[in-house]
Structure 1
């Protein structure tokens, strides 16, 4: 593989994939942690709010001022929605999967640059080895996706919801 083609591969494929997996991992980590913190706070708040039912503060009865039962139901519903959202959208699993792929891709350029591992063999086409190894990492990650998710990704990339029917 010539140097120009390899440099184009580095720019157009390797570096873009590296950025994609880094950003996707960070996005899913942020979503997961946000959902978890909201769940923690609301779960801890629910019994406190429930305990307010019937408490009298001096001459003021709190219950008529705030419909405590309704507030407990609303908080509990939000907790249920967030819990279901975490399970449905798999933010933690996606975060780990994307981060894992990123961590596998990241050192490959260093192995290439410093002639480590398969790049150290004499008479080897280092650029072809690099491309083969990077594509194997990407193929492994892509093959882990269920067919429905792959279809959704194809539609998202094309912007055409009917693109799979063509």
Structure 2
């Protein structure tokens, strides 16, 4: 009995589709979502919810990226204009150094936020996943491979499996990226290594 439990837990650990999906408060795995009502619930709550979420995230990150770029372009072009106008207007010339310093500081902050939040790469990633999820629905409805030749129950299971696999792969990508970033933060820089005294023999 104990060996069977170990074997079941081992199989679950290697199966990425044992994820439990919350359907109106009921926890079900994708093998259980085969009846008409369960599948409709899954489609309306889980699938549509995921597509909407990724769509919104893609639009939000696109807008954020565009705003960062507009600010950098506008302020970057403003500095030489201030210098040029300072040759004709005395008060602009007097404060041109201060204004240029402030503008440069704002540009540096915006560039740092852009690098930290990475809205462009997030925008591409979210849009790619949203379009893949939408594409899966068309494959299912028109029985395009891999759905071709399957019965209705098998098609439903495969649809849920592929949707959950897409979402799970994005979660794994996010977690792996966070882990790599933490590892980079924990790695001492060259300056730290140079300033670290050697251990005494």
TM-score by length of 2: 0.67
Question: In structure 2, which of residues 158, 176, 184 is the aligned counterpart of residue 129 of structure 1?
Answer: 158
Matches of 1:25 and 1:44 in 2, distance apart? 29
Deviations 1:6-26 (A, max 9, x none): 100001110000000000000
> 1:130 & 1:148 partners in 2: Cα distance?
27
1:115 is aligned, of 132, 136, 143, to: 143
Who is 2:125 aligned against? 97
2 CA distance for matches of 1:63 and 1:133? 62
Q: Which residue of 2 aligns with 1:5?
A: 38
Gaps of 5+ in 2: 1-33, 180-201
CA–CA distance in 2 between the matches of 1:121 and 1:129?
12
Flag as ranges the 4+ runs of structure 1 deviating above 4 A: 147-150
**Preserved CA contact (<8 Å) 1:56 1:62:** no
- The 5 Å alignment of 1:1-166 reads 1-53=34-86, 55-57=87-89, 61-63=90-92, 67-123=95-151, 125-146=154-175
TM-score normalised by structure 1 residue count:
0.80
Task: Name the Cα RMSD after superposition.
Answer: 1.9
| In structure 1, C-alpha distance between the alignment counterparts of 2:130 and 2:88, rounded to whole Å | 56
